[in-house]
Amino acid sequence: MHLKLGENSAIVISSPEIAKEALRTQDPTFAARSGTMSTEILWYDHTDMAFSPYNDYWRQMRKICVLELLSSKQVKSFASIRSDEVLKLIKSIKSSAGKPINLTEKIFSSTSSITARAAFGKICKDKDTLVKLFQQGGSLAAGFELADLFPSSKILRLFSSSKVKLWAMRRKLDAILDEIIDEHKENLARMSKDDKGLDQGESTRRGNGESGNEDLVDVFLRVKESGELDIPINYENIKAVLSDMFSAGTDTSSSTIDWAMAELIRNPDVMARAQAEVREIFKGRQVIEETDLQKLKYLKLVIKETLRMHTPVPLLPRASRKDCEINGYFIPANAKVFVNAWEMCRDPKYWTNPESFVPERFENNGMDFTGNHFEYLPFGSGRRMCPGMTFGIAGVPLAQLLYNFDWNLLEGIHRDNLDMTENSGITASRKEDLFVVATPMIHDFSY
């Protein structure tokens, strides 16, 4: 589908075959991203990962993210943080047992705390303010701005009503992130001074993380000062990528857990099977570790089906770097390209009963979310595929919620009438929060 949005050409791809052509066969041609005035201001002139142009700078930053920030070792190092926050979530829900609770709000608070503690370590007193800033920024970035429709008009950009709001938000964001970075630098300098005189074998890599290891800010500062980068980075670049990780890491994880719980409540047979698996495998256990997730085969299917029905980013944004042709259609350079992952995940040509929540559809079919099955792209595909999908682990929180509680909707609300409308934003979160009543499950821990 070819649309004209003001001065911009926009192409919408809703076919897995054509998506494969764009995201794999001609991936370098469609590896660009087109930003907006909102993303340019809030994400530091597009020096982040999500909106940066496809160039040497982007390749270097992605390499840092993949090898340093989001490596398997680094992600595993945050396991204790995730476990601690999940236990806090369970404790919070138990304190309101039998009473209506806003589960959406509790899940979001838990995941934002996990992301903040992993990124900023012990220095995270402004988490709630950051959350509000990114929520407001996401709403503005998802909307239509007249200046974006007519980018050649300097007058529209100059007198944009959103511009003042965006710069006010940017100044608040700067103040918070600058303080976090400055405190990290001061602490690292003090640690370095304390380590002087130690033998190389005695000195270990220390940081501002809660266990004395490196958090994500520490990693970035180390890489920045290493002298090994082809393209030097500055503090603005660090703030840009941290903004990516905090906003995306929180939204994707929380919305996946939230949608999974809503679908399970609407589908009691699926809920019963998922709970039976978790409670049988972990009978007598008080804690579910991330290493235990491989045992929960049905829960994995539930998460896959949740990502199919509620794709985290419904429209995967790309931009063409040059004139090209796909399937006989001419696509001009600089065209905005949107791969409609939401539509492809619900296309009856590829999915039986696509509007039904059926985790069993993923049994024995080998389909995963690594970008190789183009009818199923919850995290994208190709060069611009989300590098942080291993960070947003939904399995442990979901397993704990199913293990520890039975769930019901509020009195008077039938599961068939539960509002499942998706929010119209960059990520497909619930439009209406999920209110439920949790009944604690009494476990026998004598096993």
Q: Alpha helices, DSSP H only, in 159-295?
A: 161-195, 216-225, 235-266, 268-281
Residue pLDDT, tens place only, 155-169: 888 888 889 899 999
| Predicted pLDDT at 402 | 96
Percent of the chain with pLDDT over 70: 94
| Predicted pLDDT at 447 | 46
CB 339 within 8 A of CB 19: yes
Q: How confident is the model at residue 205 (pLDDT cuts 50, 70, 90)?
A: low
| Predicted pLDDT at 177 | 94
C-alpha–C-alpha distance, residues 371 and 176, integer Å: 35
Q: How confident is the model at residue 201 (pLDDT cuts 50, 70, 90)?
A: very low
C-alpha–C-alpha distance, residues 95 and 440, integer Å: 10
C-alpha–C-alpha distance, residues 116 and 233, integer Å: 22
Asked which of 264-268, 341-345, 362-366, 368-372 is least confident by mean pLDDT, the reply is 368-372
Residue pLDDT, tens place only, 221-280: 999 998 899 999 999 999 999 998 888 878 888 999 999 999 999 999 999 999 999 999
The domains found in the chain, sorted by start residue, are: 31-313+386-440 (1.10.630.10)
C-alpha–C-alpha distance, residues 430 and 419, integer Å: 9
Task: Considering only residues 206 and 84, tell me which one the structure prediction assigns the higher pLDDT.
Answer: 84
Q: Is the pLDDT of residue 391 over 60?
A: no
C-alpha–C-alpha distance, residues 186 and 285, integer Å: 42
CB 127 within 8 A of CB 113: yes
Q: Is the pLDDT of residue 444 over 60?
A: no
Q: Mean pLDDT throughout 192-204?
A: 57
| Predicted pLDDT at 202 | 39
Residue pLDDT, tens place only, 33-56: 988 899 999 999 999 999 999 999
Q: How confident is the model at residue 203 (pLDDT cuts 50, 70, 90)?
A: very low
Task: Considering only residues 331 and 199, tell me which one the structure prediction assigns the higher pLDDT.
Answer: 331
Q: Is the pLDDT of residue 377 over 70?
A: yes
Q: Is the pLDDT of residue 123 over 70?
A: no
Of 248, 173, 184, 172, which is closest to residue 216 (Cα–Cα)? 184
Kindly state the DSSP code that residue 340 receives in the 8-state scheme: E
CB 329 within 8 A of CB 9: no
Task: Considering only residues 394 and 313, tell me which one the structure prediction assigns the higher pLDDT.
Answer: 313
Q: 386 labelled as ligand-binding?
A: yes
| Predicted pLDDT at 204 | 56
Two tokens, residue 288? 């579910």
SS3 283: coil
